Amino acid sequence: MHTHDAPAVRRQWLTDRVGAVEDALAARDLVDPAAIDDIIDLYRDRLGPQRGAALVARAWTDPGFRARLLRDATEVLTEFGYDGRGTTNSALPFLRLVVVENTADVHNLVVCTLCSCYPLALLGPPPRWYKSAEYRDRAVRRPREVLREFGTEIPDDVQVRVWDSTADCRYLVLPQRPPGTQGRTAEELAALVTPNSLIGTER
């Protein structure tokens, strides 16, 4: 086996093991395979960074939508089919979503200092570094230093604002639209948006 094949082989091994465990549990009526498929579909297709990117792309091209998103993102998200109170998906509740906009004068960065509160519906599962004690501590105390470690240099005359998520409130960064993207479709614009830019570690 070539060294570069190892990750693929390990992924297949994990897939097979998980499948075997699921089959064993289903045979004992301890889990419902349809419910597991629904959870997989939820995270793979119905939630995740593609939804956050779609919001950003529309905000870049629709000034009225952008204004509404900044004024009351919770209401807008509900219109997109997600019940933030968790009644349609009890595993992913939050009561309020706030969208903060990057401008020429302000750069926003999101953190959760208490644990790892995160808008799963719009970003999918949080990356490991977001949950780490180091990021949670240093993002508040030394945000510019943390941003530099992500390769993001913020000029001294640009204010850095750090937003601390809670169990009841999540934050999402609306990045600045990249120059030279006029005329691109919403799908093309959404493809430019990264999960890190929605957290604020990238511009």
pLDDT above 70: residue 87: no
Q: Please say if 112 is a catalytic residue.
A: yes
Q: What is the pLDDT of residue 26?
A: 81
pLDDT above 70: residue 5: no
pLDDT above 80: residue 136: yes
Note the pTM of the prediction, 2 decimals: 0.76
Split at pLDDT 50, 70, 90, the class of 141 is: very high
Beta carbons of 146 and 201 less than 8 angstroms apart = yes
Q: Please say if 169 is a catalytic residue.
A: no
Which listed residue (117, 132, 165, 197) is catalytic?
117
Q: What is the pLDDT of residue 60?
A: 97
Q: Report strand pairing: 169-174 vs 159-164.
A: unpaired
The tokens of 72 are what? 């009351």
Which listed residue (112, 132, 165, 169) is catalytic?
112
In sequence order, the β-bridge partners of residue 106 are 159
Distances (CA, A) of 56 to 10, 30, 102, 150, 172: 35, 41, 12, 21, 10
Q: Who contacts 161 (Cβ-Cβ below 8 Å, separation ≥6)?
A: 100, 106, 107, 108, 109
**pLDDT > 70: percent of the chain:** 83
Which listed residue (90, 116, 165, 169) is catalytic?
116
Q: Please say if 115 is a catalytic residue.
A: yes
